[in-house]
Amino acid sequence: KVYEATVTAPVNIAVIKYWGKRDSALILPTNSSLSVTLSQDHLSTRTTIRASPDFTIDRLWLNGVEEDINASKRLVNSITTARKLREALEEKQKQDGIPAESVVPLSQWKIHVCSENNFPTAAGLASSASGYAALVSALGTLYELPQTTSELSRVARVGSGSACRSMFGGFVAWQAGIADDGHDSLAVQVADRQHWPELQALILVASDKKKAVSSTAGMQTTVETSSLFAERVRTVVPQRMEAMKEAIAKRDFETFAEITMRDSNQFHAVCLDTYPPISYMNDTSRAVAGLVHAFNSARGRTAAAYTYDAGPNAVIYALKSDMRDLVELFTYCFPREDSILPDAFYPDPFSIF
C-alpha cells in the first residue's frame, strides 16, 4: 500500500526584502515582505512524497542524492507540523462517524521524499524557497489537508521564511504578524499571475559560488548590530508595502521599479551596517545596477529595475516591450567570455509567470 503526491513549486524574488527574525525557532520576521513568484517552467522544485505502512524510516533524496532527513531541524519541523494537521484530520473523520477502518492512518506512516530542482544548484540561485514550498504543498496534497494555501504557508515558513511566499503564484505578501505563536505570520496573494502579464524577469548570474554568509546567519547578526535596520523595520518597510501593493494594483511599472531598487539598495546598505559588515554584491552586481540606471536615463523613464538577494546575482524586472533591448545591452556589456553571464543567462527574456 503506497500513497503518493507530486507537486511543483517555483522560486520567488522579493521586491520588498525579508531580512531579520523576531523568533528564530518559528521563523517569524521583523517585517512584512513582498515578492513575485517566477514561472514554474524556469526555476522550480518538483517534489514527490510517498507514504506507506511498509516504510520503516523517513527518507529524503535531493537531486538524486540521499540526505539525512533528521540532520535538518527545519525539515523535521515542517514535516512534523504537517503530520499534526493530518492527525487532527483523522481524528475529526472519526468524530464525524467515519468508521475507524476507513480512516487512512497516513499520519502514522513514514514517508519517502524525492525532490529535484529544474535549475543547476551550482547557479547559486535560491532553492530553499521553492524546496520547502514544494515539500509542504506535496504533504498538503498527500494528506488531503483542508487548510487554505495561506494556512499551509505557515508550515512552509517554519522550513524557510521566504518559502511561505512560494506557495502562491503571482504577487505575494508575507504578512509579518504580531502574535507570539506565529498564527498570523503567513503569505497572502496580492494579485494573480494574469494581473500583469507584460511584467517580465531576467536573471543575470554574476557568480555561481556559494554565498559566504548564509541568509539565516547574516540576518541574525543584522538584527543584533545594525542601527539602520531598526529604522528600516519601523518606518520604511510599512510605508513601502502599501505603496508597492498600490503600484501592483495599478500596474504602475515606474513606481514598482523604483521601490524595488530602493528596497534592494537599503537591504544591502543594512548588510554593510551590520558588524562585522556583510557584502553580498560584487563589482559585476554594481556594474549591472549602474547600467540599469544608465538605461533608465537614456529612456527618460524608469524602464527597468534590479534587485539582489543574499548574493551577487541580479534579477531585472522590466516590461516585455523593453526586455529585448535590455537583453541586448547586457549581452553587449558583459560578453560571455567574461564568464559573467554564461549558462544561466537566458537569451530570450522569459516571462516571470
DSSP E strands in the chain: the ranges are: 3-10, 12-16, 21-23, 28-29, 33-37, 44-52, 59-62, 65-67, 110-117, 171-175, 186-191, 199-204, 304-308, 314-319, 350-351
CB atoms within 10 A of CB 322: 20
- The Cα angle at residue 77 between residues 73 and 82, in degrees rounded to 5: 155
CB of residue 164 to ligand DP6, shortest distance in Å: 9
90 touches ligand DP6 (CB under 6 A): no
Q: Which three cell numbers stand for residue 234?
A: 519601523
Stretch that binds ligand DP6, among 50-58, 80-88, 155-163, 340-348 (CB under 6 A): 155-163
- Using the rule CB under 6 A, is 268 a contact of ligand DP6? no
| Binding flag, residue 282, ligand DP6 (CB under 6 A) | no
Among 7, 11, 18, 278, binds ligand DP6 (CB under 6 A): 18
Rounded Cα distance, 266 and 269, in Å: 5
Alpha-carbon span 7 to 68, nearest angstrom: 22
* Count of residues touching ligand DP6 (by CB under 6 A): 14
- β-strands 65-67, 33-37 pairing: unpaired
Phi, psi of 281 (to 5 degrees): -80, 150
Cβ 51 to ligand DP6 shortest distance, Å: 26
CB of 347 to ligand DP6, least distance (A): 26
330 and 314 in contact (C-beta within 8 Å)? no
Which of residues 10, 11, 17, 326 is near ligand DP6 by CB under 6 A? Answer: 17
Mask of contacts with ligand DP6, 210-249, x by CB under 6 A?
A: -----xx---------------------------------
Question: Nearer to ligand DP6 by C-beta: 6 or 265?
Answer: 265
Residue 33 engages ligand DP6 in binding (rule: CB under 6 A): yes
- Judged on CB neighbours under 10 Å (0-12, 13-18, 19+), 351 is middle
Residue 162 touches ligand DP6, criterion: CB under 6 A: yes
Q: With binding defined as CB under 6 A, does residue 128 bind ligand DP6?
A: yes
The contact set with ligand DP6 (CB under 6 A) reads 14, 17-19, 27, 33, 128, 160-162, 215-216, 309-310
